[in-house]
Amino acid sequence: MEQANTIYLTCEDDEDQLHWRQAHICGTLGVLMESLAGRLNLVSLRGELDIELCTFAKGGFFALAPAYHRLAALITQTGAKLVFLDNVAHLFTGNENDRGDVTRFLNALNRLAGETGAAIILIGHPNKQHGQGYKAGNQYSGSTAWQNAVRSQVTLDHDAETGLRTLTISKANYGRTDQAIRFFFVNWAFVHAEDAPADTGKAMVQANERFGTDFTEADQLFFDQVRATAERDEKIVEAAKANNEANFAAFFSRVLDDLFIQRMEGNDEIFNRVMSDKQFRSAAQEHLAREVYDRVRRKGDNNPDLIGAD
C-alpha cells in the first residue's frame, strides 16, 4: 500500500467542522497537522448551490455539470490519487430508481477516474431498513445499477452495543470479497480493533449492566465530550487528585450541570434527557464521575494524602 495525495469532499460539514475533526484525529493518531499540508485536501460544499456533478433532462438528455469540471481540475491541481465524495444524495440529482440515470452518473465517475488516474470513492447512506438493523436485501437505496455499474463496493456496519465497526468488501471485480476490517471510534479517530485499548467497546456495555440503563453509542459520545471537558478543568483535576472517589463524586455532582451545558450544542436530545430524567442523570453522573476520577488518577502521580482517605 502506498501513500497518495487525497481529497475528501463533503456536502454536509463546514470548514470549521472539518478542521476541528481532523485536528482531533491527528491528536489521537500522533500525526502533526502540518505534515498533511498539500497531501490531504479537505473541501466543503456545505450550503453551496449547483453542486450536482451531472444534469438530467426529459428525453434522456445528460450532461456533465460545471461542478464535475471543477472537481476534475482540483484533482489535477492537487495530484490526488484518492478522492472521497460525500455524499451521493447531494451530488446525484437524477432518479435513484432509474437504471439509466444511475448508470450514466456512475459512468461519468468512471470517466473521471480514467482521466485523472484517481480512485473515486462515492459515499452513500444505507437504505432505511438496513440502517435500522435489517440486514436482508440490498444495503443501498434505488436501482440495482448502484451495485452493478461499479467495480467495487464496501459496506460499513455498526454494532451499537459495543461500538465496533466492520468494513466489508461486498463486491470486488478485481479481488477477494471475504475481507473485513474491524475498528473502534476512540477519542475522535477510528482505530483498528487490534490497536484499540483493551477495554474499548466494553465501557458502555459495562455501564448498562452496572446501572441498568440503555446507554447508546450516541450517549457515550456525548459522555466522552463531557469527560474530555472535565479533564481539561484544573479544579476538577485537582479535586480528583486530592480526594477519594466518594468525595470526588460528591464534588463532581455539583459541577456536572455546567459540564453538560458546555457540551449541549448539537446534543439537544441527550442534554434534555439528562436534565429531565432523574434516573438517567443519576446513572450518567456516577458513570462519568468514575471515568473522570480513574483517568485523572492514572495520568497523575499517586497522592498519599487523600482528603477523606481511610
Q: How much is the pTM? A: 0.64
Q: Which of 1-5, 120-124, 197-201, 281-285 has the weakest average pLDDT?
A: 197-201
Per-residue CA distances from 169 to 102, 126, 135, 247 (Å): 21, 15, 15, 51
Helix count and strand count (H, E) for the chain: 12, 10
| pLDDT of the residue at 215 | 67
CB atoms within 10 A of CB 132: 8
Confidence of residue 264 (pLDDT cuts 50, 70, 90): confident
Q: CB within 8 A of 4, min separation 6: which ones?
A: 80, 81, 82
Residue 292: Cβ within 10 Å count? 25
- Dist CA 132 CA 113 (whole Å): 33
Q: What is the rounded CA–CA span in Å between residue 248 and residue 77?
A: 55
Comparing 6-20, 67-81, 270-284, the range with the smallest average pLDDT is 270-284
CA distance 223 to 231: 12
The more confidently predicted of residues 216 and 280 is 280
Beta bridge partners of 189: 186
Pairing of strands 180-186, 189-192: antiparallel
Instruction: Supply the pLDDT for residue 270.
Output: 77
Nearest Cα neighbor of 205 from 195, 217, 196, 193 is 217
Instruction: Indicate whether 109 pLDDT > 70.
Output: yes
* Mean pLDDT in residue range 173-183: 83
Q: At 86, which amino acid appears?
A: D
* Top-confidence residue, 192 or 266: 192
Residues facing residue 12 across a β-bridge? none
Structure-block grid coordinates of residue 172: 470486488
Burial 205-240 (b: 16+ CB within 10 A, else e): eebbeebebebebebbbbbbbbbebbeebeebbebb
Give percent of the chain with pLDDT exceeding 90: 44
Domains along the sequence of the chain with CATH: 6-150 (3.40.50.300), 203-299 (no CATH)
The conformation of residue 33, written as its DSSP 8-state character, comes to G
| Residues 239-255, mean pLDDT to the nearest whole number | 92
Q: What was the pLDDT predicted at 202?
A: 58
Task: Quickly count: other Cβ atoms within 10 Å of residue 116's Cβ.
Answer: 19
Question: ∠ at Cα 49 (45, 52), nearest 5°?
Answer: 80
Measured distance CA(219)–CA(235) in Å, rounded: 25
Count of beta carbons in the 10 Å neighbourhood of residue 270: 22
Which of 242, 228, 239, 202 lies closest to 288 in space, CA to CA?
228
Taking only the tens place, the pLDDT of each residue in 43-58 is: 999 999 999 999 998 8
Distances (CA, A) of 199 to 26, 47, 121, 204: 22, 40, 32, 10
Which residues, including other chains, have CB under 8 Å from residue 244's CB and lie 6 or more apart?
A: 306, 307, 308, 309, 310
Band (302; pLDDT cuts 50, 70, 90): very low
Cβ distance 284 to 223 under 8 Å?
yes
